[in-house]
A and B are shown apart, each in its own frame.
Chain A
Amino acid sequence: MNPDTRHPTPDTPLFDLLRGSLDHCVKCTICETACPVSNVTPLFPGPKYAGPQAERYRDPAAPSVEWSVDYCSGCGICTQVCPQGVKIAELNAHARRRVKARKGVPLRDKIVGRPTLLGRLGTPAAPLANASLRLRPIRVLAEKVLGVHRDAPVPKFAGRTFRSWAKKHKSPATGRRVVYFHGCGTQYYEPDVGEKVVAVLEHNGFEVDVPLKQDCCGLPLQSNGLFDDARAYVLRLARVLAPHARNGAIIVGNATSCTLMLKREAREILELEDDPDLKLVSEKTYDICELLLELHDRGELNTDFRPLEESVAYHAPCQQQGHWIGKPALDLLALVPGLQVHEMDARCCGIAGTYGLKAEKYDIAMKVGEDLFQQVADSGAAVVACDSETCRWQIEHGTHKPSAHPIELLHRAYGL
């Protein structure tokens, strides 16, 4: 068996990527040691049970007989640590979808699965929306009616969108084009992060294109079991980005969950292996730290950083780990003189996208994050650097310390 059978291409004979991968499981328990959820709650029996083991019992033609796999948060750490190449998290995603197909997808999941919808509704009325979401009675009502936990960390609408800024911004024409996929978080909640990303890229000689028709990558829909809707979104996004990729541009993003969706999850979980646009986009997508570190490796990164005499804790989100490229942010932050970086050794902050927002899962999410929150406190760091916005919101909620994307620190160190 040559390695290519683990990574099938359209040329390899009919091989079911996910179900076929269950054959690689030798029950070694390594995934169970790493699962952040099963280690804190009995409601999820663990990745080995829910993934390759239960898969042998599943009948695609019959309704799902399960419920516990719904407590898998989809963090993907199991797949990452599995030494045998079992697509555990991906198998779980499929099983979860079938559970929801049988039980019905709650209205809440349809709503939190659509950050674009929420964003469009909340942005024009941002001050009111933000204030309401911080009113206890409203949160209690939302928990009772919708099932969003009253204490769950919901972000603040920025009141403006990133693209409204991008529309008016013109990157200096350098000929070195890069396409910016900013994601919903940047668009509705953190447009300032997006501006900093653009500034850092321009500082390194890139001409940044922001396709204005881009929209959600569909990840929240996928993780809530709404596969058909997720497919529609991600393919729409692929159609917008692909022409740029065909012209030789690379696609860069700062939301590590969303770039992972484009790189891998959409192809594997939504079974879109055959779409040429998505395939091209996935090959050309980079995380911003990944890109900058590669530049540095080639000696092309601008390293005129001013000293930052600060202490920062760095947490790599589980879906950044899912890129399987290590922690490029660590190496980048190490270039900033004076900056004391404490690498956190925790697997997951708990939020796992929309998981930790849910009334029935919030407590689990907070227990999952406990270890990280404690490590942050023990480190004495003033700020927590983290690549994913939902994780930053969870970390701020759990540590009461500010959290920033690593790019924001670089931006400050550049003096931009």
Chain B
Amino acid sequence: MIMNTFEINDLDLYYGDTQALKSIELVIPRNQVTAFIGPSGCGKSTLLRTLNRMNDLIAGVKISGEVKMDGADIYADVDVRKLRMRCGMVFQKANPFPMSIYENVAYGQKAQGLKDKFQLDSIVEEALRKAALWEEVKDRLHSHAFGLSGGQQQRLCIARTIAMRPDVILMDEPTSALDPIATARIEELMEDLRRDFTVVIVTHSMAQARRIADKTAFFLMGELVEHGDTEQIFNAPQDKRTHGYITGDFG
């Protein structure tokens, strides 16, 4: 059993001529919550999207270096679709498909060719339970997903990801479009998620990182400035830029 889910070595990423990530070195431990923090444009979302190769969708992206998941280089040895099944992603704005709640959760498994209704039913229920949404929607699984509130839609997107039974859940500012109560529900949920998954979350809110993350990595202008245990990053930062950011001098 490898202790670290991801090992990132000397990773550079360019959008055309602009360098968005500069020689990143980082390990992301298994079954923990790792938070990426830093001001807008610091590269934290870009790094998150290299972990499931979502940057492949953008034209003109160049990557060098190594990203290993469970020891295998995801840019060389791993099939991109298998990678994305193992590394689910939750986006900044809840993006359910224009389908029923049930179809949204079953989508990924159906895309893999699973047709058995009984199996699908149990996967959907399990995923909705793990996403703490089952009690709210069990009586209306076949109504349209757009009828849910923003917070429910985001939990639906989490359920949709869980239904793939991934190892990792990547979250790109999942609560930035939600009100405080919906945010609190998702943060509660993340407490449970860490038992089954490795969670990597990008967040603008330092308070959120502090509440939910075991490890925190601080980024600035494409560089990884500092990373370590969340407690240490917030209470005893080694770099003065980290100190400046978390005490609110800039950002």
Query: Is the A/B pair a real complex?
Result: no
Tell me the B residues contacting A by CB distance below 8 Å. Answer: none
Tell me the A residues contacting B by CB distance below 8 Å. Answer: none
